[in-house]
Amino acid sequence: MKKITPFLVFMLLLQTLFGQQKQKTVNTTTLPEIEPRIIPDKSDKNNNFYDNEESYALPVKDLYIEGEIENPGKVDFSKLPKHTVIVKETLLSGDTSNRFVGAYRYDGYSLFDILCNRVLKKKNVTEFRPIIDLYVVIENEKGEKVVMSWGEIYYPNFLHNSIIATTVMRIVPSKTKDLWPLPTQSKLILANDLITERNISSPVKITVCSYSRAYKVVKDMSPLFSEEVKVINGEKSLEAMTVIPAGLQKETLHTVFYGKGRGIHSTQPFTGVYLKNYLASKIKVDRNSLQKGLVILAGIDGYRSVYTLSEIMNRNDQAEILIVPCPEDQNGGKFRIFPSCDFFSDRAVKGLSEIRIEMK
């Protein structure tokens, strides 16, 4: 038998330690990153109503961003945090009725985060620098398209309510035990919509756009006052409003009116009529208009904001947009717009002179 010298023992120990360290390194770099599984609370032991059922993964397609940005390209979902929304999905089924689909919890990546580091390159920046005339077109492989205003993504009082969903869970009624049908693909989920026609499956492209119609911009116009508001649907002129129509109920909304640039403006309430009620007789709310309708609200000085028809006519949070009559105000009259849905006041329009509805 060979005699084991102290040197040989030392070398064997060194080799063993080195091999273990090498094995550890290989293991930590080759193992895939596994997302922790949410264990459903089947016995309803906690106070969370939205973890009682199994969650199901939804296959996700590659998503690309293009349009008026300096850095187009594929979205890297691995760098983004996940967010959760809860939705009662309901679709149009006729002129006077809607079809309930189911109640769900969706987890996924917010459009706020997806677009956050895309550097804007507005085509009309020389004419109109503010970003409130931006919107995005979201489409899937089938060619279905929906629009969202930039304000819906970056200006709302509650952020991250619009996501690309990658997992879904049924919210099951405790008595009826109804098992709503599950989607089988990733899905655009806009949690603020009442009728969820904009929730299209498997989105693959987002295009950033600025509103292309030109308006003459007159800065520091005085007096900032428009005697009438022209209402236009496409290229068809509907009316010139000089007074709020009779029969529309007045509403008073309390607010802290705060701008992105100038900060606090006031804490006074606004009284007017809901824009959706004024437009109700002028536009048909159907699947196409909810998915593709834009509403441009322009002041006489060329200041304008882009909204979607859905965020005006189809909200589930009662955070409405007001037309505010102010006939005595020479610095912002005869009408102005107040968006109670926004954290910032930037999409408010003074000296309102045009309401234009377009389909994209």
Cα separation, 152 vs 190, whole angstroms: 10
Between residues 324 and 33, the one the model is more confident about:
324
Residue range 335-355: mean pLDDT, rounded: 97
Band of pLDDT at residue 259, cut at 50, 70 and 90: confident
The model's pTM = 0.86
pLDDT in tens, 45-89: 888 888 888 999 999 999 999 999 999 999 999 999 999 999 999
Strand partners, 146: 138
pLDDT at 235 over 50: yes
Share of residues in the chain with pLDDT > 90 (%): 81
Quote the distance between the C-alpha of residue 295 and its chain's center. 16
pLDDT in tens, 142-190: 999 999 999 999 999 999 999 999 999 999 998 999 999 999 999 999 9
Question: What integer best gives the mean pLDDT of the chain?
Answer: 90
Domains defined for the chain, CATH in brackets: 55-210 (3.90.420.10), 224-359 (3.90.420.10)
Q: Which alpha helices (DSSP H) does the chain contain, by range?
A: 6-30, 111-114, 150-154, 275-279, 287-292, 309-313
Quote the distance between the C-alpha of residue 194 and its chain's center. 13
Neighbour-count burial of 25, counting CB atoms closer than 10 A to its CB (0-12 exposed, 13-18 middle, 19+ buried) = exposed
Cα separation, 279 vs 248, whole angstroms: 11
Residue range 340-358: mean pLDDT, rounded: 97
Whether omega for the bond prior to residue 142 falls within 30 degrees of 0, making it cis, is: no
Residue 45's pLDDT is 81
Contacts of residue 69, Cβ cutoff 8 Å, sequence gap at least 6: 118, 119, 120, 121, 208
Closest among 229, 196, 236 to 87, alpha carbons compared: 196
96, amino acid identity: T
Band of pLDDT at residue 9, cut at 50, 70 and 90: very low
Residue range 214-230: mean pLDDT, rounded: 95
Q: What is the 3-state secondary structure (H, E, C) of 181-243?
A: CCCCCCEEEECCECCCCCCCECEEEEEEEECCCCCCCCCCCCCEECCCEEEEECCEEEEEECC
The radius of gyration of the chain from alpha carbons, rounded to an integer in Å, stands at 27
Q: What is the DSSP letter of 78?
A: G
Quote the distance between the C-alpha of residue 16 and its chain's center. 56
Residue 51's pLDDT is 86
